[in-house]
Structure 1
Amino acid sequence: MVKKQLIMEKAIDLFAKQGFEATSVQQITEHCGISKGAFYLSFKSKDELILALIDHFMMQFTADIDYVVKNTKDDEKLFHEFYYTTFNSFLKHSDFGKILMKEQSQSFNKELLIKMQSYDKLYEKSIMTMIDRLYGDEIEHIKYDLMYCIKGFTSTYSHLFLFQNVSVDLDLLSQSLVEKTHILAKHTTIPFISAELVHMGRLPIDDSVTKEQILEVVEQKIEEIEESIEKESLVLLKEHLVEPSLSPAIIKGLLENIRNHPHCKWISYLLRNYYKFY
């Protein structure tokens, strides 16, 4: 196991039990069985480790949600797939889910807050895409309220298996929340959340991504990943970014090759949006 990956995996155990602030680098190194020097070869500080963890998990989560929202063709299944994917992701990464929910309400670290808000903004964007697609102008006056209700559903119901250890039927839960979502969309008449209120108090976030930035991420992953179909696909995608030569069908096939690899999901997300494959 790569030392950086080992540190990240072991640190999650401590952060989940103690929180970010209460966990020291000394505790992390002891838990990993490495020296402080070895830790600092991988991460410049505990804050850098924390940001790396958030990136690692939130990139996968964001990419999965984005893919489901943009590739579920049946409107009747759209919200079900969204809810199921959201809860399944939290369930698979329950330790990190606990950390994320605790730290979002307790952290005063500006860089950490900006990082969390940047992913939250992408999550909201996916929700608004579904709302606009399913309800259109019909609910223009209450769509931000509905978005906040949907976020509330995912957060509140996640507590059942993250903090209360309740065994949950994700399919039934998703069906139940789809019904609630449709009822709110059709019968809410008194809006409270507006576009202005949504953006009030947000920290400034630049979420634009250039081709050069995508290339940098692709090159980094090519170096990290062992020989595999995903690595071969990344090499071809990089070559196409530098000098376009592939057809859209081939690009889509290459993106499908890398989509489920945990270290490639973010690249898949970036390239799908760059090429507008949705």
Structure 2
Amino acid sequence: MVKKQLIMDKALELFSEQGFEATSVQQITERCGISKGAFYLSFKSKDELILALIDYFMMQITADIDQSVRSCSNEEELLYVFYFTTFRSFSKHSAFAKMFLKEQTQTFNEELISKHDYYDSHINESILYILDQLYGEQIEETKYDLLICIKGFIQIYSALYLRFNLPLDIDSLTKSLVEKTALLAEHSTIPFISGDIIRIIKEPIHEQVTTEHIAALIEQKIDDIENPIEQESLQILKDNLFKTNTSLAITKGLLENIKNNPQCKWISYLIREYYQL
């Protein structure tokens, strides 16, 4: 196992058991069976390790949700696909979700809050896309209230499952939430969310989706990719970011080449957002 991944895996175990504050670097290194020097070769601090964990899992969850929603060809199934993928991802990464849920009841520093808001904004975009596809102008006045309700459903039901270790029938839960969301969409008429709040909700997603940011992420990943086709596809995608006449058809083909590599999920997601594919 790669040492950096080993540190992240063992740290996640400790954070889940004890929380961020109560876990020391010494405890992490003891759980890993490595020296403190080896730890600091991978991470400058415990805070940097925490941010790396949040990045790793939120990239997986957010990209899974977006890919499932965007590839759904039947509009009537969009809400089902969204809810099902969301709860399946939370279930798959339940150790991380439990840790994150526990820490949300404590004080996050500014960088952690910013990191949470960044990924939260991407999920907002997926939800708004679904609502626009399903209901269009019918919910123009209330769609941001619906956005908050959908996220509330996810948070509340996830908390029930994670805190009390309830058995999770994802299919039944998904169908129940699809029904509830449809009722709200069809019968809600009084909007509450203001224009100012809308701007706050939508603004953070665009902060880092730039050519320079995506190129830097590709540069970080490209040497870790062993498959030559995936590696070459990443290089071409990076080069194309700085061209004015990039072919979207070629870009889609290159994304197909890397879509099954877990290390490329977030890059694929950002490129789709960048080109609005």
Question: TM-score scaled by structure 1?
Answer: 0.90
1:22 is matched with 22
1:173 is matched with 173
More displaced, 148-157 or 225-234? 225-234
Q: CA RMSD in A?
A: 2.4
Paired residues of 1:145 and 1:194 also in contact (CA < 8 A) = no
| 1:203 Cα offset (Å) | 11
1:158 is matched with 158
Q: Aligned residues, how many? A: 277
2:236 is matched with 236
1:259 is matched with 259
1:52 is matched with 52
1:127 is matched with 127
The amino acid that maps onto 2:189 is T
| Rounded Cα–Cα distance in structure 2 between residues aligned with 1:235 and 1:201 | 33
1:106 match: secondary structure: coil
1:136 aligns with 2:136: yes
| 1:205 Cα offset (Å) | 7.6
1:2-81 equivalence runs, <5 A? 2-81=2-81
1:191 aligns with 2:191: yes
2:220 is matched with 220
1:163 match: secondary structure: helix
2:209 is matched with 209
More displaced, 166-175 or 189-198? 189-198
Paired residues of 2:121 and 2:204 also in contact (CA < 8 A) = no
More displaced, 227-236 or 120-129? 227-236
| Rounded Cα–Cα distance in structure 2 between residues aligned with 1:202 and 1:32 | 40
Percent same amino acid among aligned pairs?
60
Q: 1:200 to 1:272 in 2, by over 3 A?
A: closer
| Rounded Cα–Cα distance in structure 2 between residues aligned with 1:101 and 1:195 | 29
Q: 1:199 to 1:105 in 2, by over 3 A?
A: farther
More displaced, 52-61 or 68-77? 68-77
Q: 1:173 to 1:54 in 2, by over 3 A?
A: same
| 1:200 Cα offset (Å) | 6.6
2:148 is matched with 148
Paired residues of 1:107 and 1:113 also in contact (CA < 8 A) = no
* Gaps in structure 2 of 5+ consecutive residues: none
More displaced, 244-253 or 7-16? 244-253
Q: 1:161 to 1:232 in 2, by over 3 A?
A: farther
Q: 1:73 to 1:201 in 2, by over 3 A?
A: closer
Q: Deviations over 1:73-117 (max 9, x none)?
A: 311000000001100110110000111222233233111111111
| Rounded Cα–Cα distance in structure 2 between residues aligned with 1:205 and 1:256 | 24
| 1:235 Cα offset (Å) | 2.8
| 1:224 Cα offset (Å) | 1.9
| Rounded Cα–Cα distance in structure 2 between residues aligned with 1:36 and 1:30 | 9
Paired residues of 2:16 and 2:95 also in contact (CA < 8 A) = yes
| Rounded Cα–Cα distance in structure 1 between residues aligned with 2:30 and 2:132 | 50
| Rounded Cα–Cα distance in structure 2 between residues aligned with 1:23 and 1:222 | 33
| 1:214 Cα offset (Å) | 1.3
* Gaps in structure 1 of 5+ consecutive residues: none
Paired residues of 1:215 and 1:238 also in contact (CA < 8 A) = yes
1:110 aligns with 2:110: yes
Q: Deviations over 1:228-262 (max 9, x none)?
A: 54334323323433568875333212212222322
2:101 is matched with 101
